[in-house]
Amino acid sequence: MAININDTRTMLAALERSYPPTTLLRDTFFPNLQTFVTETVDIDYKKGGRQLSPFVTGDSSGVNVKRAGFDTKNYKPPMMMPKRPITRDTIAHRGFGEPVYSTRTPAQRAMEVRIRDLAEFRDMNTRTIEWMCAQIMLFGSVEIHGYADDGETYLVDTVTYSDWTQKDILAGTDTWDNTNADIYGDLKFMHQTIAENAGINPGVAIFPNNVEGYILNNERMQKYLDIRNMYIANIQPRIVAPGVRYFGTITSLDLQLWVYNGIYQDKDGVRQQYIPNDYVLMGVTGRGSQLFGAITQLEGKEWFTYEGRDVPKVWSEEGKDAQFIRLASRCVPKPEFADDWYTLKVK
């Protein structure tokens, strides 16, 4: 039986066999993926507790203990939907990477264009999710802007985790560009705050390239590294992935340090860092999630709903001699606990 490459389920299967780009924040702090059969998702998150068990007399039947509460938001994740047309001009001539004396037909070129476009769209969606993860960890919220068919920008929504309070901005002589700043003391305070409030030790601190310079030039950190038999930190930088470097470990805190120089291109075409200069993010790894709402779309004369991360669609407009391809996704990153991370602006 012939395979219809334009069939949504066929394209979904192909996408599941592809590999998205590596994204440090998403993979480290929001690795769990959950899809829903509805367009809305349930966001459950809570703060940690430290209750003690009550003592009772020998003949007591027990003491009722109040359950720890949690916040639930029923939320419709914002839609990502990049699309492109395939026209006669797109497939009439040799495509990217195609031999000069190629014998490929326009139909074969159209199929290759669709495959390349789907892969590029998935990368774009993945970068947007990484950006959302960064915004939530930096500011506790992410402001979503969307585009209408007329091209005008409008505010879609704001996702806010209002219970998150673990953030600070250093000032004066405490800023890390001061070579005598107490960098170790600041990292230890962040670590202890997370451990006390979340109930688990954070395992990773992530910062951009300029913060690495502050640490290397810091006189106190240099002394810690020079003192024999005082194993405070181990600095051994090495590249582990594009834009990602392992910097070292604060051994006394069992805390890994990573330099992240991942970048994206904003709506104005300007390159931006996911983590801006002078920010340090520290957090508990592996507990956050990505929640994906279902995608409902019209195919032919019927409506279909798909549960998944990225949902493709191909349709034709014969009057324009054009075929369109798009990749839709509804995602919102969700931390498990509001106390799972701490953000510090060091300058």
- Does 37 lie in the same domain as 183? no
Is 225 found in the same domain as 294?
Answer: no
pLDDT, tens digit, 9 for 90 and up, residues 13-39: 655 555 456 699 999 999 999 999 888
Closest CA to 204 of 241, 257, 129: 257
Answer yes or no: is pLDDT of 267 > 90: no
Compute the average pLDDT of residues 236-265.
93
Determine, yes or no, domain membership for 66: no
Q: DSSP characters for 73-102?
A: EEE-PPEE--EEEEEHHHHHS--TT--TT-
Please give the full DSSP string across 113-139, using - where no structure is assigned. Answer: HHHHHHHHHHHHHHHHHHHHHHHHHHH
Model confidence over 163-213: pLDDT tens digits? 899 999 999 999 999 999 999 999 999 999 999 999 999 999 999 999 999
Question: Tokens 């899809």 belong to which residue?
Answer: 35
Residue where one domain finishes, among candidates 262, 284, 306? 284
Burial of 271 (0-12, 13-18, 19+ CB in 10 A): exposed
CB atoms within 10 A of CB 73: 15
Q: Domain check: are 182 and 266 in the same one?
A: yes
Above pLDDT 70, what percent of the chain?
A: 79
Domain count, the chain: 2
Q: What is the CATH number of the domain that holds 13?
A: 3.15.30.10
Whether 93 shows a pLDDT value over 50: the answer reads yes
Q: What's the pLDDT at 272?
A: 94
41 domain residue, yes or no: yes
Q: Is residue 39 part of a domain?
A: yes
Q: CB within 8 A of 185, min separation 6: which ones?
A: none
